[in-house]
Amino acid sequence: MSLTKRLAKSRLFTSITELEDQLAARTDTVHPVEISPKRFDIIQGKLESTEGSPPVRLLPCILQCLSGIKESFLTLAENPADPKTKASADFIQELELKAYALGASSIGYTQLPERWVFQDKAVLYKNAIVLSMEMDQEGINSAPSVACMKTVMETYRDLGRINNQLAAFLRERGYGAHAGHPLNGLVLYPPLAQMAGLGWLGLNGLLITPEHGPRVRLAAVFTSIENLPFNEGSDHSWVRDYCENCRICHIKCPPGAFYEDPVEHAGGQVTYIKNELCFPYFNAYHGCSVCVKVCPFNLRPYEKIKAGFTATP
Ligand code: SF4
Ligand code: SF4
């Protein structure tokens, strides 16, 4: 049995599944609804793939990600028994400064709709602090490659660490917190991040952010703070009109995995990709990421693209 397959069966991996199940069994959590999506288990898929399992040299980083996921569950026991629910503007500013100092690229706030909680999962609070973190451009621009996969895994690890640290910071100040890890998250992050004002969903199914286009990973910290400065609207919706005229990600996707017209489901979930075409290529070619690399928003500044697009008659 290969090392990666042993890892998939390891106690660390199975204990995470148990912790997810324990949280989902609680009644004081935010649960999915019938129309909620099912999570694609990226770690399990990668580790159990018969092709292109991760190179052994990435295993330390994968282990660090798994440890971060486990920590995000184990630390729930450290939440205050009677957490505070109101925060001052000064505290929110302090929180943001800390997040940026730790390496976050952008922060927004929204309330988690139950429909974005994955089937059979749960999170502790509906108040969401949503974060993005930039992935190294050189690594992503080498996609598909081991170097690109390393960049992706390192960003998962580092954003997971940021979220665990922010959750600890909130607890120290008397608030309840649940760090949602970016890898194998419990909710569908891209639409949540759009709701939080961090960007807009592009035709590659990824969040296009003003800072780094789709070259980011996403995660959220769920908290007892009820008066977060929730986003009330953003002006990123023009991105979708731009996409309709672009479609470079569709053209360049090696296995041609994109639906020409995304499939809209009840409740607002949208499917952009034919999984049966994407996943085999994704597994065989180091997590692919070509649809991130080729996006104009990865290559040129958002404001320049916007100025050119909105000036077009
Ligand atoms: S490559 Fe083009 S169509 Fe695809 S997400 Fe980026 S801007 Fe939109
Ligand atoms: S990850 Fe690769 S195979 Fe999957 S949709 Fe993006 S470009 Fe296509």
For position 54, what pLDDT does the model report?
75
Of 187, 159, 180, 161, whose CA–CA distance to 223 is shortest? 180
In degrees rounded to 5, what are phi and psi of residue 252?
-90, -10
| Dist. CA 68 → ligand 2 center (Å) | 26
| Dist. CA 136 → ligand 1 center (Å) | 19
CB 83 within 8 A of CB 176: yes
Whether 63 is in a domain gets the answer: yes
For position 47, what pLDDT does the model report?
58
How much of the chain exceeds pLDDT 90, in percent? 81
Distance CA 110, CA 97 (A): 19
Give the pLDDT band (50/70/90) at residue 51.
low
* DSSP of 17-82: HHHHHHHHH-SSSB---TTPPPPP-HHHHHHH-SS-PPPGGGHHHHHHHHHHHHHHHHGGGGS-SS
* 251, 259, 291, best to mutate for ligand 2 pocket (most atoms within 8 Å of CB): 291
For position 48, what pLDDT does the model report?
60
Atom of ligand 2 nearest to the CA of 285: 2
How much of the chain exceeds pLDDT 70, in percent? 94
pLDDT in tens, 118-159: 999 999 999 999 999 999 999 999 999 999 999 999 999 999
| Dist. CA 3 → ligand 1 center (Å) | 37
Atom of ligand 1 nearest to the CA of 247: 3
In degrees rounded to 5, what are phi and psi of residue 200?
-140, 145
For position 10, what pLDDT does the model report?
84
Whether 43 is in a domain gets the answer: yes
Mean pLDDT of 91-107: 98
Higher pLDDT, 204 or 233: 204
- Res 281 pLDDT > 70: yes
Instruction: Identify the helix (H) or strand (E) that includes residue 180.
Output: strand 177-180
Whether 123 is in a domain gets the answer: yes
* 149, 204, 283, 288, best to mutate for ligand 2 pocket (most atoms within 8 Å of CB): 288
- Res 7 pLDDT > 80: no
- Res 307 pLDDT > 60: yes
pLDDT in tens, 19-30: 999 999 999 999
| Dist. CA 242 → ligand 1 center (Å) | 8
Whether 40 is in a domain gets the answer: yes
Ligand nearest to the CA of 306: 1
Whether 184 is in a domain gets the answer: yes
Distance CA 104, CA 106 (A): 6
Distance CA 184, CA 44 (A): 9
| Dist. CA 291 → ligand 1 center (Å) | 8
Distance of CA 291 to the CA centre of its chain: 16
Cα 112–Cα 218–Cα 77 angle in degrees, nearest 5: 65
Atom of ligand 2 nearest to the CA of 287: 1
Number of other residues whose CB lies within 10 A of the CB of residue 308: 11
For ligand 2, atom 3, which residue shows the shortest CA distance? 278
Whether 228 is in a domain gets the answer: no
* 203, 289, 302, 309, best to mutate for ligand 1 pocket (most atoms within 8 Å of CB): 203
CB 126 within 8 A of CB 220: no
Whether 279 is in a domain gets the answer: no
Task: Look at 26-40, 97-111, 124-138, 205-219 and tell me which has the smallest mean pLDDT.
Answer: 26-40
Q: pTM value? A: 0.94
300 lines ligand 1 (CB under 6 A): no
Whether 285 is in a domain gets the answer: no
Report the number of distinct structural domains present in the chain.
1
> Which range marks the domain in which residue 213 is found?
3-223
